[in-house]
Amino acid sequence: MVVQQTIQDKLANRFQAEFLLVENESHNHSVPANSETHFKVTLVCDEFDGLRLIQRHRLVNEVLADELAGPVHALAMHTYTPQQWVEKNQTSPNSAQCLGGGK
């Protein structure tokens, strides 16, 4: 769980998150057991207020540039303001099932 913990730590250090969840979804894809290649991040913070979705994702991408250039193949991002998080009933959408890779 080295990559997952690194993502968690980097995001926690960069953002004053009201809520942060990093989920390893690699098991849903055609990768070897115990892989750390596919992740879902749910991040809620005041800093996102007034920013468009693309701006929020760029901030996260900047923090995780090394991981995205290396071990991470896919990163699903759900970035919300605290108000949006309440409106979403404090839930993020489920990720789509992998349809490729022979599974």
Task: Give the CA radius of gyration of the chain.
Answer: 14
Residue 70 lies in a domain: yes
* Distance (Å) of CA 103 to CA 38, 39, 78: 15, 18, 26
- State how many domains the chain has: 1
What is the domain range of residue 23? 2-87
Residue 55 lies in a domain: yes
* Structure token digits, residue 96: 């789509």
pLDDT tens string, the chain, 103 residues long: the values are: 799 999 999 999 999 999 999 999 877 777 767 678 789 999 999 999 999 999 999 999 999 999 999 999 889 999 999 999 999 999 999 887 765 655 4
- Residue 4 φ then ψ, to 5°: -60, -45
* pLDDT for 73: 87
CATH label of the domain that carries residue 71: 3.30.300.90
Residue 103 lies in a domain: no
* pLDDT for 103: 47
Residue 10 lies in a domain: yes
Residue 33 lies in a domain: yes
Residue 93 lies in a domain: no
Whole-prediction pTM value?
0.89
Residue 98 lies in a domain: no
Of 14, 9, 7, 5, the closest CA to residue 74 belongs to 7
* Distance (Å) of CA 49 to CA 52, 82, 101: 9, 8, 38
Residue 12 lies in a domain: yes
